[in-house]
Amino acid sequence: MALLDYFRTSKPDVKTANLAKDRLQIIVAHERSLRDNTPDYLPQLKLDILEVIKKYVAVTSDQVNVQLDQRDNNLSVLELNVTLSD
């Protein structure tokens, strides 16, 4: 019988799969809460704006701050702050 047990496929443990699924959902929810509802394109937008500003003024990424504020359902405000040295 041990030889036949070797060829049988074992079914995955349903409890383990459900536990892993629940843990993954918790991790995804946590990551989403850390993003503060910012769109995925915002970091790339900041880099693009920084590259354009660097063509004209010597600045670092620490001197550029980009924020997106959701005022209403239909209104979003993109705020760009650039700290220029003397």
Give 70's contacts (C-beta < 8 A, 6+ positions apart).
37, 76
Query: What does the pLDDT profile of the chain (86 residues) look like in tens digits?
Result: 566 666 666 666 667 878 888 888 888 777 766 666 666 777 888 888 888 888 988 888 888 888 888 777 778 888 889 888 87
Within a domain: residue 2?
Answer: no
pTM here is 0.48
Within a domain: residue 49?
Answer: yes
Label residues 34-64 b or e (16+ Cβ within 10 Å = b): eeeeeeeeeeeebeeebeebeeeeeeeeeeb
Distance (Å) of CA 81 to CA 48, 74, 75: 14, 23, 19
Domain count, the chain: 1
Within a domain: residue 72?
Answer: yes
- Which residue segment(s) compose the domain that 40 sits in? 9-82
The two three-digit tokens of residue 36, written as one number: 């503060």
Within a domain: residue 36?
Answer: yes
Which domain CATH number covers 34?
Answer: 3.30.1070.10
